[in-house]
Amino acid sequence: MLNELGHYALVLALGVAIIQSVVPLIGARLRDPRLMGLASPSAVATFVLVAFSFAALTVAYIRSDFSLANVVENSHSAKPMIYKISGVWGNHEGSMLLWVLILALFGMLAAVLAKQMPASLRACVVAVQGWIATAFLLFIVMTSNPFERMLPAPMEGSDLNPLLQDIGLAIHPPLLYVGYVGFSIVFAFAVAALIEGRLDAAWARWVRPWTLVSWLFLTLGIAMGSYWAYYELGWGGWWFWDPVENASFMPWLAGTALLHSAAVMEKRDALKVWTVLLALITFSLSLLGTFLVRSGVLTSVHAFASDPTRGVFILTILAIFIGGAFTLFAVRAGALKAGGAFAPMSREGALVFNNVFLTTACATVLVGTLYPLVLETLTGDKISVGPPYFNLTFIPLMVPLLVAMPFGPLLAWKRGDAAAAAERMIAAAIVAVLAGAVSGWLAGTETALTASLGTALAAFLIVGSFAEVALRTERASSFGGRLRRLVNLPRATWGAAFGHFGVGLTVLGIVALSAFETEIIRDMKVGDTAEIAGYRLDFRSAEQREGPNYTDAVAIFTVTKGGVPVARMEPARRFYPVRQMPTTEAAIKTFGLSQLYVTLGEVDGDTVVVRLFYKPLVLLIWLGAVVASLGGVVSLTDRRFRIGLPAPARRRAPMATPANAEASA
């Protein structure tokens, strides 16, 4: 019965979403407060109905209800409970339902929380969000129904893809979807502003918190996915430029540019056209990522579906929303005022520089991702665009951007002093030179240049991130005064500092891994030893272990350093009998910010292929993403984001005197 109710709620949500997408928009055009007032209850109802449907599907997974085809294809009664729950979004239909649930959540939050916005603009925002919800609810109901029945119901399910039976995949998709789908509300704000013809600093301030929330969740989602691939796939890498990895990275690049552009628009009422364009581009790239993952054009561990019908449906949605939004932009862009002027050497100029490099880098990733698909479609030829292309095109664009990053906050709005900003970066430059020299000396001859330049850049970023904080407190006459100034700094200033600091940490982790990583591949038998980076690994024994729905072939190693035992590591080859699929379970031991990483390859009799890595400072790659996201959280607590723009002061009426009182009478 609950399954039928979940299906019915999904269909009912489609009907309510249609009302949400039409009635408030008509009310905004007619300036009818009653029709505009339907925006909030319809958005809330859409969310409640989709949430009920999602909860019903989750209960079916928990109960192992094999009367649903979706549960049969992606679950098993012996599967651990955490993976029964994560299995809800470990497939196309369930993940699409989660996608729409988050979409409806953002629509409801915009309707309920955006009370300071003009009623007509809020109604348009909620209506545009309703358009998107309608399109994807229709997609689910027509092509991806998670409540499709299987009669007679089998006794057991087919289990979830073993690669997805991991805690990382329980966390990664929800985080990523909040980021992906969160940009839909920014898209809705942009389209609503174009419809209403209202684009000003107030609009930028309303948009910035939504952009920031989406950006920080997308940052965490990408980082979690990277770490999952690092330890679960057993390959030891953290990024491969996989097309589906790129599909999430492109909205992040565009969203980062949007975040900075919206700041300029809010502060200086400038870059209006550019900010709206970035808002449209960012969500368009999110939709493109959805198409790549679910259309079947890509074969990847990340891809969910291979049904061409679904691909055509999503491509149609893509064409309607992207085409319609950019057509509206083309019609309205000429009427938008340019906004405040500024000198090239200013904080605005630095942010424009930032945006140009971010969007160009995004374009290079887009070309590298889509070119093989377009070529295969047109000619039938298959080519592979891999890391060499992306490293050659992406990294040269990032280096000048990262060098310039600490300078931007030191420049004044409208017109800045480059010499003064450079003077304040002397300490960061000295630290960078010293760090680069030490790193180059420690590295081998083949990696000395990479280590030296990369470490210098990372050190410059890390120290320079807090240059603005130091600048704002340098005039204090005492330690106590400086401390008070630090405490009273705007939260957005601290947030930007932590964000840039996090980028510096990630860069340092990447450089250390690239220049100093050690790898050994050996055939080993029980009793053999291997040495790597000062650690000695002794192969003590091999065991067979039974899991709830798998079997493990485990190799047991003891790790010593200087003759002192420091760890026990147990890499495994895991086999899932239901799916008839093996996986590699890496053994990872953390020492500070560095890691020992051990995986097992093929087993030949009593000999096993062992792959050993020593990965110096590798955790900085993901720690940097966490710190940058923390910067986003700190910025969200800024008072300006909570109270919005102050209301314009009303002109005070003249005091009543007998003379003017008689005149008014």
Query: Rounded to 10 degrees, what is the CA torsion of 251, 254, 259, 264?
Result: -160
**pLDDT given at position 202:** 87
In sign, the C-alpha dihedral spanning 356, 254, 628, 389 is negative
- Decide: 97 and 71 in contact? Cβ < 8 Å: no
Number of H helices, E strands in the chain: 23, 10
Confidence class for position 660, pLDDT limits 50, 70, 90: very low
Find the mean pLDDT for residues 209-235. 93
**Alpha-carbon span 364 to 264, nearest angstrom:** 25
Token pair, residue 329, equals 């932009």
In this predicted structure, the answer to whether residue 664 has a pLDDT above a threshold of 50 is no
**pLDDT given at position 298:** 60
Residue-wise pLDDT tens digits, 372-398: 888 887 887 888 788 899 999 999 999
**pLDDT given at position 355:** 93
SS3 556: strand
Token pair, residue 406, equals 């600490």
- Decide: 123 and 107 in contact? Cβ < 8 Å: no
**pLDDT given at position 647:** 43
Token pair, residue 19, equals 């009302």
In this predicted structure, the answer to whether residue 445 has a pLDDT above a threshold of 80 is no
**pLDDT given at position 646:** 42
Verify cis geometry, omega within 30 degrees of 0, for the bond prior to 571.
no
Confidence class for position 641, pLDDT limits 50, 70, 90: low
Token pair, residue 399, equals 């280096």
Burial class (CB in 10 A: 0-12, 13-18, 19+), 1: exposed
Percent above pLDDT 90 for the chain: 68
How are the residues of the chain apportioned to helix, strand and coil, as percentages rounded to the nearest 5? 65, 10, 25
**pLDDT given at position 596:** 97
In this predicted structure, the answer to whether residue 295 has a pLDDT above a threshold of 90 is no
Residues 6 or more apart from 570 whose CB is under 8 A from it? 554, 555, 556, 557, 587
Residue-wise pLDDT tens digits, 490-514: 888 999 999 999 999 999 999 999 9
- Decide: 81 and 62 in contact? Cβ < 8 Å: yes
- Decide: 428 and 485 in contact? Cβ < 8 Å: no
DSSP strand pairing (529-532 vs 535-546): antiparallel
Which is more confidently placed, 649 or 321? 321
SS3 467: helix
**pLDDT given at position 62:** 96
**pLDDT given at position 658:** 33
Residues 6 or more apart from 227 whose CB is under 8 A from it? 168, 238, 622
- Decide: 639 and 491 in contact? Cβ < 8 Å: yes
Find the mean pLDDT for residues 328-349. 83
Nearest to 365 by CA among 256, 285, 261, 287: 285
Nearest to 190 by CA among 245, 129, 248: 129
Nearest to 414 by CA among 270, 210, 206: 270
- Give phi and psi for 611, each to the nearest 5: -115, 120
**pLDDT given at position 389:** 93
**Alpha-carbon span 625 to 617, nearest angstrom:** 14
Which is more confidently placed, 383 or 172? 172
In eight-state DSSP terms, residue 164 is G
**pLDDT given at position 207:** 93
Find the mean pLDDT for residues 547-557. 92
Give the range with max mean pLDDT: 23-32, 233-242, 299-308, 605-614.
Answer: 23-32
Confidence class for position 296, pLDDT limits 50, 70, 90: low
Give the CATH class of 1-165.
mainly alpha
The DSSP annotation for 623-639 comes to HHHHHHHHHHHHHHTSH
The Cβ of residue 429 has, within 10 Å, a number of other Cβ atoms equal to 16
User: What are the structural domain ranges in the chain?
Assistant: 1-165, 204-424, 425-517+619-631, 518-615
SS3 530: strand
